[in-house]
Amino acid sequence: MAKTRKPSRTALARYFPIAEAVAALFKPHVEVVIHDLARNQIAYIANAFSRRRVGDSSAGDRFDEAVLEQDVIGPYRKVNRDGHNLRSITATLRDDEARPVAMMCINFDVSALERIGEQVASLAFLPGSLEPHAPFFHDNWRQALERTVGEFEAKRGMATRLMGPEARRQLVSELEAAGLLSIRNAPSVVAQRMGISRASLYNYLKEIRGG
**Can you give the C-alpha Rg of the chain in angstroms?**
19
Which residues are registered as beta bridge partners of 31?
107
Element (H, E) at 191: helix 186-194
Largest CA distance in the chain: 63
Domain boundaries, the chain: 9-112, 139-209
Q: Domain 9-112 adopts which CATH fold?
A: Beta-Lactamase (3.30.450)
31/205 Cα distance (integer angstroms):
36
Model's pTM, two decimal places?
0.58
Identify the band that residue 45 occupies on the pLDDT scale cut at 50, 70 and 90.
very high
CA atoms within 13 A on the CB side of 115: 4
CB 61 within 8 A of CB 33: yes
Q: Which of 11-15, 144-148, 173-177, 195-199 has the lowest mean pLDDT?
A: 144-148
